[in-house]
Amino acid sequence: MRSRFDEQLAMLNHEMIEMGAMCEKAIAQASKALTEGDLALAKEVTATAGGIDQMERDIENRCMKLLLQQQPVARDLRQISAALKMVTDMERIGDQAEEIAEIILFLGGRTMEPCGQIDDMAQATIKMVTESIDAFVKKSVETAQSVIDQDDIVDGYFIKMKNAIIQLIAENQEDGEFALDLLMISKYFERIGDHAVNVAEWVIYSVTGVHKEE
C-alpha cells in the first residue's frame, strides 16, 4: 500500500514540475512577445494558460485521491495540502501572463526601450517560479527562502520601470496611454513574483509544518 502511495506522490511531483514549466513558458512567451512586438506569440500565451488551467484540475484530482484513498502520515499530508495551495498560485501566474498578452495585442505590436527593461523583470520572475517548484520537489527550505529573498529584486525592477515610465510621459505626454499599459504589464510581473513567494512559503510549510501566517 505504501509503495503505491509513494508512486502517486512521485507522480504528483512530476505534475507539479510540468505545471511549473508551463508557467515559465507562459511568462517567457509574454515577455518575448512584448520586447519583439510579436502578436502571434502573444496569442500563444492563451493556449499555454489553458494548459496550466488543465494541470491545476489534474493535480487537484490527484491530491484528493491521495487524501481519500490512502492514509497519509503527517508529512505526506502537509505535502499534499501544500500542493493544493501552490497550484492555485501557479494558475494565477498563468492568468496574469495571459493578461499581459492581451495588453500586448491591444498595443498592436508596438515596442520601445522600456519594454527591454520589463524583460529583465520577467527573467527574474521566471527564476523565482523555477526555484519555487524545485524547492517543493527537493523539500528544500533553503531554496524556498532564496525565492522569498529574490522578491526584493523583482520589486526593485518594478520601481525602475515606474521611473522609466514617468520619464517617458514627461518626454512625450501623447504617449500617456502606452506608458500606462507598460506600467500595468510591469505590475502583472510584480504580482507573478508575489505568487512565486506564496509557493515558496507553502514549500516551507510542507517541510516544517509552520506557515508564515501562523
As averages over each run of 10 residues, the pLDDT of the chain (214 residues) reads 79 93 95 92 96 96 86 83 95 96 92 79 93 92 97 95 87 83 94 97 92 71
SS3 labels along the chain? CHHHHHHHHHHHHHHHHHHHHHHHHHHHHHHHHHHHCCHHHHHHHHHHHHHHHHHHHHHHHHHHHHHHHCCCCHHHHHHHHHHHHHHHHHHHHHHHHHHHHHHHHHHCCCCCHHHHHHHHHHHHHHHHHHHHHHHHHHCCHHHHHHHHHHHHHHHHHHHHHHHHHHHHHHHCHHHHHHHHHHHHHHHHHHHHHHHHHHHHHHHHHHHHCCCCCC
Is pTM, for the whole model, over 0.85? Answer: yes
Domain regions of the chain by residue span: 2-208
Superfamily of domain 2-208 in CATH is Phosphate transport system protein phou homolog 2; domain 2 (1.20.58.220)
